[in-house]
Amino acid sequence: MPELPEVETVRRGLVALCPLPLRDAQLTLWRRDLRFPVPASLPDRLAGATLTAIERRAKFLLWHFGDQVLISHLGMTGSWRRGADGPRRRHDHLALRFADGPELIYHDPRRFGYLDLVAREAVARHPWLQPLGPEPWDQAFDARYLQARLRGSRAPIKNRLMDARVVVGVGNIYAAESLFRAGISPLAPAGRIGRQRLARLVHAIRTVLDAAIAAGGSTISDFRQAGGSSGYFQHDFRVYGRAGRPCQQCHGTLRHATLSGRATVWCPRCQRT
DNA sequence: AAATGAACCTGTTTGC
DNA sequence: TGCAAACAGGTTCATT
């Protein structure tokens, strides 16, 4: 479900839903077998804590509880919703309650999501976060960095872009959309792309992600904002999900291929290797 | 060493 | 219509 704009949309929705700080947390764990086993000690360690902030790093939500941080990833189908709107549903895996505030429910049919609770100073070197590259808006993320990082790589640029060690937050949809806007073929060997074109790519990634966040993310099948409303960036897709249809720029036919098992769409005329 | 493909799961869509 | 296969926004692991 979520790439960076969707996670950021969820974060903003949660912050709007939660008048921080929220005191006296109580976590109920219904299922521990998510993508990775949820630590059984989690409810005990969190009991009574105060939620002071909800941040995002890459596609992770970082829930700050004093000197502890709950790290949560939504996987493909994870979502948070306000509880107290009926009984527990199929695929609800945990609930977060506070003394006076909303009850939050984590729901995840495919169970690709995962959670952990760590000391604040250990967050950055947590095995999930430690290998991550820069955020797309980091100063460190520029054409020079990309060129150095991709030097010698003959892998398709789309694959390298979706590698979180290179840059975080760019998944299958936004990789395709960014490459279209930068005029670069997803098949282009990563190490052969010149500085100028990489600069265009950096700009395109930021522009697309900014626009998607502003639109409240993309709603495909089941993604919803924390408040339950839909994002609408899906109406701005230029290539994703449009294989066989005409390119909006040149009216040629958009092509489809599978790259590392992921559906890939691009315009052979507008996007060059 | 880098890069591809399978695996983790379930629900929904597509195609015969 | 019915059923099975294919496919889905993410990430990790094993195998070339």
Supply the pLDDT for residue A88.
86
What percent of chain A shows pLDDT beyond 90? 86
Supply the pLDDT for residue A174.
95
SS3 content of chain A, % helix, strand, coil (to 5): 25, 25, 50
CA of A153: how far to CAs of A158, A162, A171, A241, A272, in Å? Answer: 12, 14, 19, 27, 17
Terminal alpha carbon distance of chain A: 29
Q: Note if A149 is an active site residue.
A: no
Q: How far is CA A253 from the centre of its chain?
A: 29
Supply the pLDDT for residue A231.
83
Supply the pLDDT for residue A100.
83
Q: What is the pLDDT of residues A34-86, one digit of tens each?
A: 999 999 999 999 999 999 999 999 999 999 999 999 999 999 999 999 887 66
Find the residue closest to B13 using CA and C1' atoms: A221
Find the residue closest to B3 using CA and C1' atoms: A155
**Of A21-30, A82-91, A137-146, A250-259, where does mean pLDDT reach its minimum?**
A82-91
Distance between the alpha carbon (CA) of A4 and the C1' atom of C9, Å: 10
Contact A115, A43 (CB under 8 A): no
Report d(CA A195, CA A13) in Å as an integer. Answer: 38
Question: What sign does the dihedral A231-A237-A241-A244 (CA atoms) show?
Answer: positive
Beta-strand pair A104-107/A68-73: unpaired
Q: Which residue has the higher pLDDT, A1 or A238?
A: A238
Distance between the alpha carbon (CA) of A154 and the C1' atom of B16, Å: 39
Q: What is the pLDDT of residues A58-67, one digit of tens each?
A: 999 999 999 9
Query: pLDDT class for A225, splitting at 50, 70, 90?
Result: low
The bases of strand C with some atom under 7 A from any protein CB are 7-12
Residue A223: pLDDT over 80: no
Nucleotide nearest to A156 (CA to C1'): B3
CA of A13: how far to CAs of A61, A79, A141, A216, in Å? Answer: 12, 11, 27, 10
Q: What is the pLDDT of residues A164-180, one digit of tens each?
A: 999 999 999 999 999 99
- Mean pLDDT value across residues A109-119: 96
- Give me chain A's average pLDDT, please: 92
Question: Is-cis flag, bond preceding A21, omega within 30?
Answer: yes
Strand C nearby residues, CB < 7 A = A 1-3, 6, 35, 58-59, 73, 75-76, 110, 112, 128, 131, 162, 164, 171-173, 217-223, 261-263
CB burial class (10 A; 0-12, 13-18, 19+) of residue A224? buried
Edge-to-edge strands, sheet with A68-73: A51-57, A60-65, A68-73, A114-119
Which tokens in the block code for residue A84? 């107290």
Residue A270: pLDDT over 70: yes
